[in-house]
Amino acid sequence: MKRLSGWDAFLLYSETPNVHMHTLKIAVIDLAGLGDRTFGINEFRRVLRERLYKLEPFGYQLVDIPFKFHHPMWREHAEVDLEYHVRPWRVAAPGGRRELDEAIGEIASTPLDRSRPLWEMYLVEGLAKGRVAVVGKIHHALADGVASANLLALGMDITEGPQRDNDLYVTDPAPSRGQLVRSAFADHLRQIARFPGVVKYTADGMARVRKSSRKLSPELTRPFTPPPSFMNHVITPQRRFATATLALADVKETSKKLGVTINDLVLAMSSGALRELLLKYDGKADHPLLASVPMSYDFSPDRISGNRFSGVLIALPVDVDDAAQRVQQAREAALLAKESHQLVGPELVARWAAYMPPAPMESMFRRLSNKDGQNKVLNLNISNVPGPREVGKVGGATVTEIYSVGPLTAGSGLNITVWSYVDQLNISVLADGSTTDDPHEVTAGMVDDFKQIRRAAGLSEELTVVETAMAQ
């Protein structure tokens, strides 16, 4: 048994009937190299069964504390019914990118069952060129982007040679009410002992802000007030999904030419796409949007569970028409946000989250999810996560693409997540049922803006075709 951290619990409490807090991980798999062997739902369940012992979070079952006296706990080795958790799915013909995206949207539209370990896997068949896709649906309380990437690597054969898999998965007994209450009481005492350290951490951060040369800068002192936009409303339970792929070499070439990071380019491309959508849906794009961008403070390659990140608010220059200028402003906004983040302390929110009372927090999020729709903190979430650099395999079949996307938050109907994999930069967009006519407007807009950025940088607008990826 182990307790959810305050930050893990926060991601659990923020879930409501229309705000689902699961993340999605999608791997497209080419079966051509299997020869006469098959890879269907039974083979996939067998692969997972053999690896379940090292995919530890897949055995975590949520256990509430009586009277919500404390944050819930994880029963670490619960029973796992692979017939339930691992499910077949078939897309409609012709089985291209659009059909897969539509299926993923449907899969994302339902919440996870909290009476079971908080994950589901879908083997999606019917894709063109003899491919299948594995769609993982994992609650954010289980893992952040870094932990998910590490977990994904464990589920794949990243290295050559035989895999030492086994089916020795041993379950733990369920805890008694008395054990839960005693554990909660003891942990509360430990939290009280840690409280002076939290106060000191906070005070040290405030002192750094006061001493900073930018302490009077508007970027550090102004209240963040995200402007109303087409994406900010009471979101629906329905989810819609879209993807696009760029060649990582093209992105690296562009970032080097402009002297910016890949993350800066992702922010700039997002800004350009959102600018066009603001003009379409709102008739104006005259104010920067506020994006929450997660920044991890634990990149351990062995970490496969938990959340060790905080959200950094970055002003997206959607009000800037010139592509080159947007890139530089995105870069400057990211640098200012990172500076503020380090000054205040990257673990500030996570440390205070440990003291959040469960029942009032759940009640607050239920109210917020159906209030007036306008998120008072941010417009949308944008993530950029480095994924595996080596080609992975599942059951001997080659993983050709990986996509990932985080959840929508209350009052924000759009999430943009970018994952790199080998030679690809893969864009994923999650929207609710009423934010856009088609979420592919966002992915197409990002690709078009990338072309504009390359033209502004003096580079060819002709993008490299990623042969291993699904056709756009």
Q: Are the beta carbons of 148 and 138 closer than 8 angstroms?
A: yes
Q: Is 70 a catalytic residue?
A: no
Q: Which two tokens stand for residue 128?
A: 């063109």
Q: List the one residue out of 186, 383, 385 whose CA is nearest residue 267.
A: 383
Q: Which of 71, 140, 233, 341 is catalytic?
A: 140
Distance CA 45, CA 123 (A): 10
Q: How far apart are the first and last CA of the chain?
A: 45
Structure tokens at 314: 């970055």
Kindly report the number of other CB atoms within 10 A of residue 113's CB atom: 11
State how far the Cα of 184 lies from the Cα of 354, in Å rounded to an integer. Answer: 13
**Strand 119-125, strand 86-90: pairing:** parallel
CA nearest 211: which of 339, 26, 392?
339
Residue 466 CB contacts under 8 Å (≥ 6 apart), including other chains = 245, 246, 247, 423, 424
**CA 317, CA 333: separation in Å to the nearest integer?**
9
Report d(CA 434, CA 449) in Å as an integer: 24
Do 330 and 291 meet the contact criterion of CB atoms below 8 Å apart? no
Q: Which of 457, 320, 468 is nearest to 398 (CA)?
A: 468
The residues carrying an active-site annotation are 140
